[in-house]
Structure 1
Amino acid sequence: MFHLYWADEGGVPAGDRGLAYGDGLFETMSVTGDRPPLLAYHLDRLSRDAGRLAIPAARSELEKVCSQALARYSGHYGARPWVLKLTLTRGSGGRGYRPEPGIQPNLVISHSTAPAPADTDGVVVDFSRVPLTVNPLFAGIKSLNRLEQVMAARELRGEIYEVLMSNRDGHVVEGTRTNLFVRSGDAWITPPSATLAVAGVMRRYVLDRLHTAGEEVREAPLSLVDLVGERCQGLWLTNSVLGVVSVRNLAGHDLPVDQRLATIVGSPAILD
């Protein structure tokens, strides 16, 4: 169904469309031992969004490859957390933007050590100077087109853990690698899915957990006052590898920090 490449054995062909045009998508998932807690969520998104891009990738085949990868790499890490990455491209072939009919997708499997956990006392965050543009046709897809995030991530210096990106309407949408949740009044607020460059699997899991817990949740645009105004009871970053991270300072403004969202969601090590 697709050409499979193990990154530690060699790269994809030079004519790969993901390399040439960003014509593909990817997933990065946290693994403890041989268990990726959010595997089902990752496979759901990868197969669904591949369909949106008209890249053939059956969920069952992706699941088989994940099983192979877990068996292949889990022994390198023992009980330590690590990261499994799947990069799916449309394949190789076709001069210019138009792909050749019937080309087979390429799937590249790689792995790496997990990043250090964030400070439980909260992290320092700033605003990015790089604007975020989201094409409605591709909203939420974790595609290989991440140049805006790359440029924004260059602003991460010193103790700055993350920078938040805003769209042309001035609404704060997401971080370079994280989605956002704000506690305001009696509700949790997160930017609407249609405005997101990446709709993270951890975001989806957090929403599921909040709904299960009977919490009020709203998808609504976030302005500056929502984040640093007196109604803000906390700001959290979410990412499937980083988990749920509290923000203690945003662009010089101290924010309240507590573990209520992490408590509702649970530890990434035991997510099902």
Structure 2
Amino acid sequence: MWVIENRQYLGEVDSWSRAEQFGDGVFETLLVSDGVARALSLHAKRLEHGLRCLKIPPPVENLQHMLSGYVDNMVESSGLRNGVLKVMVSRAKSARGYAYDAQAEPCIVVFFSSYQAPKNEFYEQGINVQICSTQCSIQQQLAGLKHLNRLENVLAKSELHSDCFEGLMGNYLGFVVEGTMSNVFFEKGDVLYTPELSLSGVAGIMRSLIMAYCRRKGIALHITHIKMDALPQFDSAFVCNSVMGLLPIKKIKDKPMAIGKLTRQLQMAIRSGEIYA
């Protein structure tokens, strides 16, 4: 096939990136702190799970060792000891069409960049969150995966008002799913609630760490379907991901939220590193 890219004629090629053609792959985004990647084993396990679900052969047998090697290489090459590592693994390049060679070796692209954390006041006072009109598709085969098809998140992110740091996305059934770049938890009394992700959404690494912490500490946690119109019943809420950590929510749409005791406890566990134990 013959290719023109950005008005430049490239001539004849045998194949092209399936990540670019179809979003055919998965990715991991790791926080690197003082030269060490946080929650490395969990990222490796999720990467392995995603590749298996998409029937993409793993590029190496030991994915954790692969990720660790990329961290070391990028830290040494860039001179940065703190930043964000993004690793994309996509199905092997192919010509036009959805068919693929199941045995072909996948493609890997790695980015490493500096990271500017959210403002301190967001961690202490909380953030404003709006409800996005863009919905998460329901697709059980892809639910939970951090796959490369992120158009819904891109569109939802573009909706955010200037005074809102994050937006919540639901599905057509009216259930809360996730934030545009985060998972969400709600607090009521001494109980935490987080959306069940069997229909759609990304099963985030920080979400997994918080769930494990709750089990260790005996904190009641309900993983369940939560209706958008039920949000006013909760006392407090927060969003989280593996890069920014945990941000309390001070307002969802027009409803003010308090910052709960469990929210503060989890913040402290993340800051101290206890959450990673």
**For this structure pair, what is the TM-score category when the shorter chain's length is used for normalisation?**
0.7 to 0.9
Shift in Å at residue 269 of structure 1? 6.7
The match for 1:63 is: 64
Shift in Å at residue 116 of structure 1? 1.9
The match for 1:3 is: none
Give the 3 Å change call, closer, same or farther, for CA 78–97 of structure 1 in structure 2: closer
- RMSD over aligned Cα, in angstroms? 2.0
The match for 1:10 is: none
Give the 3 Å change call, closer, same or farther, for CA 71–101 of structure 1 in structure 2: closer
Shift in Å at residue 60 of structure 1? 4.3
Equivalent positions of 1:4-153 (< 5 A) are: 15-57=16-58, 60-75=61-76, 76=78, 78-79=80-81, 81-118=82-119, 119-120=122-123, 121-153=125-157
Give the 3 Å change call, closer, same or farther, for CA 56–109 of structure 1 in structure 2: same
Shift in Å at residue 104 of structure 1? 1.2
Shift in Å at residue 89 of structure 1? 0.1
TM-score (norm 2): 0.86
Shift in Å at residue 238 of structure 1? 1.3
Shift in Å at residue 64 of structure 1? 2.9
Equivalent positions of 1:219-234 (< 5 A) are: 219-229=223-233, 232-234=234-236
Give the 3 Å change call, closer, same or farther, for CA 14–233 of structure 1 in structure 2: farther
The match for 2:248 is: 246
What is the identity, as a one-letter code, of the residue corresponding to 2:185?
A: F
Runs of 4 or more consecutive aligned structure 1 residues displaced over 4 Å after TM superposition: none
Tell me the alpha carbon deviations over residues 11-59 of structure 1, each in whole angstroms, 9 at most, x when there is no partner. Answer: xx97011110010010101110221121111000001110111111167
Would you say the 8 A contact 1:43–1:59 is kept in 2?
A: no
Shift in Å at residue 227 of structure 1? 2.0
Whole-Å Cα distance in 1 between the matches of residues 72 and 261 of structure 2?
34
Shift in Å at residue 67 of structure 1? 2.5
Stretches of structure 2 lacking an aligned partner (at least 5 in a row): 1-13
Whole-Å Cα distance in 2 between the matches of residues 269 and 99 of structure 1?
46
- Asked if residue 194 in structure 1 is aligned to residue 198 in structure 2, the reply is yes
Give the 3 Å change call, closer, same or farther, for CA 117–62 of structure 1 in structure 2: same
The match for 1:267 is: 270
Shift in Å at residue 166 of structure 1? 1.0
Shift in Å at residue 117 of structure 1? 2.6
The match for 1:236 is: 238
Tell me the alpha carbon deviations over residues 139-182 of structure 1, each in whole angstroms, 9 at most, x when there is no partner. Answer: 11110111111101101231211111111111111111111111
Q: Which has the larger radius of gyration?
A: 2
How many correspondences in the alignment? 257
What is the identity, as a one-letter code, of the residue corresponding to 1:31?
A: V
Tell me the alpha carbon deviations over residues 114-157 of structure 1, each in whole angstroms, 9 at most, x when there is no partner. Answer: 23235121001000011211201111111011111110110123
Stretches of structure 1 lacking an aligned partner (at least 5 in a row): 1-12
Residue 220 of structure 2 is aligned with which of 216, 221, 225? Answer: 216
The match for 1:203 is: 207
Would you say the 8 A contact 1:238–1:245 is kept in 2?
A: yes
The match for 2:8 is: none
Whole-Å Cα distance in 1 between the matches of residues 134 and 36 of structure 2?
36
What is the identity, as a one-letter code, of the residue corresponding to 1:155?
A: E
